[in-house]
Amino acid sequence: MTTPRRRIPAPAVEALLLDTSPYLSCDECFERLDTYVEATLADPAHQDVAMRVHLEACGACAEEAATLADLLGPDG
């Protein structure tokens, strides 16, 4: 396929260089999402590095986590 020469937008550079280790798949994130959100709401200092890294790297999973936290929160 022939494509025109193009630039990578500066904001995309940061996303392209994101360190997504330790690796966690979207399926594994989904499996742990309920317990992770409950634990985080109960203790904002709760740590799960693999989940945190995945949610920083995957917009769709992050959106789902935010919605679940919203539903479980005081205004949900």
Where do contacts with another protein occur on this chain (CB under 8 A)? 1-10, 12-21, 23, 25-27, 30, 33-35, 37-38, 56-60, 62-64, 67-68, 70-72, 76
- Of the candidates 39, 46, 38, the residue with the CA atom closest to the CA atom of residue 76: 38
Q: How far is the CB of 43 from another protein (least distance, A)?
A: 14
Nearer to another protein, 48 or 58 (CB): 58
State the nearest-atom distance from the C-beta of 45 to another protein, in Å. 19
Report d(CA 57, CA 14) in Å as an integer.
Answer: 11
**CB contact at 8 A, 51 and 13:** no
Q: Which is nearer to another protein, 2 or 47 (CB)?
A: 2
49, amino acid identity:
V
The dihedrals phi and psi of 47, each to the nearest 5 degrees, come to -115, 125
Provide, rounded to whole angstroms, the least separation between the CB of residue 56 and another protein.
Answer: 5
